[in-house]
Amino acid sequence: MPIRQFQAQRMHAPRDFQAIAQQPVCVEIGAGKGKHALLFSGQNPEKQLIAVERTREKFLFMQKQHVLEGAKNLQPVHADALPWVVHALFPAQVEQFFILYPNPEPHNPAQRWLNMPFFEFLLSRLKTGGSITLASNIPEYIAEAEQQLIDVWKLPFIKEVIPADSARTHFEIKYLERGELCQQLIMSKPEAYATRFDDFQPLLGQSVDVAAK
C-alpha cells in the first residue's frame, strides 16, 4: 500500500518532556511492564536502553521494578512513542529498536507500524547497521510487514520463529504457553540508506516544522 509522507510538524512534545543526550541508545517502544527492558539492560550493561510506554499503569509498574533492580543503563519513559521519538532522538542515534507484540490494529491497518508514514522517520533515527526487531503472534501481521519491507521500505531482514522457551515479555510467555506461533522480523539499515528526515534535528521539546525535501 502507498505510504504518505509523515507530517512531523503536527507532533507536539509529550507532557513533561525531557531531552536526552546525543549518544548511542537502544529504544523499546511499547515496553509494557518492562520485562524485556529489565532483561535486556541486565544482559547488556554496556548499552543504554530507553523503554517507552504510554499506558500509565504499565509504566508505573516498570518504573517500580526498575527502582528495585537499579539498572543504571535503563531509562523508563512515560510518553506516546511518536511525539517522543520526533522530539527526543537524533538522526542515526539508535543502535536497536524493539517493537515487541504491538497492537495488531485489526480494524485500522493503516496504524500498523510498517504501514505508517512515521516508520520513515523511525528509520532516520536508526544508525547504519542498526536493527529493528518486530515480534508478533499473528502470522498475518508478520506476513504483511514482511511484504512492506520488500515493496515499500526496501530493507534487508531476517524472519525467525521465536523459540518456545523464550520469555522476553508477559505477552510472549502467554502466547507461547498457548502453543501459538510467535515470529519476529529483524530488519537492518544498510549503508547509504536515505530517508527524507536524515537531516532533521530535534528541537528539544519545541514545536516542530519539517519542510519536505
Match domain 24-188 to its CATH number in 3.40.50.1000, 3.40.50.150, 3.40.190.10, 3.30.70.20. Answer: 3.40.50.150
Query: What per-residue confidence (pLDDT) applies to 89?
Result: 96
Q: Which three three-digit cell numbers place residue 213?
A: 525535501
129/5 Cα distance (integer angstroms): 24
Q: How would you write the pLDDT of the chain (213 residues) with one tens digit per residue?
A: 557 788 776 788 888 888 899 999 999 999 999 999 999 999 999 999 999 999 999 999 999 999 998 889 999 999 999 999 999 999 999 999 999 999 999 999 999 999 999 999 999 999 999 999 999 999 999 999 999 999 999 999 999 999 999 999 999 999 999 999 999 999 999 999 999 999 988 765 444 433 333
Phi, psi of 151 (to 5 degrees): -85, -40
- Name the pTM for this structure: 0.91
Query: What per-residue confidence (pLDDT) applies to 97?
Result: 98
Residue with cell 519491507: 149
Beta strands in 33-125 (DSSP E): 49-53, 74-78, 94-100
Strands 183-188 and 157-161 turn out to be antiparallel
Task: State the DSSP string of 144-207.
Answer: HHHHHIIIII---EEEEEPPTT--SSHHHHHHHHTT---EEEEEE--TT---TTTT----TTS-
32/44 Cα distance (integer angstroms): 19
190/94 Cα distance (integer angstroms): 14
Q: Which three three-digit cell numbers place residue 66?
A: 526498575
Helix (H) or strand (E) holding 27: strand 25-29
Query: What per-residue confidence (pLDDT) applies to 203?
Result: 64
CA 50 to chain CA centroid, Å, is: 10
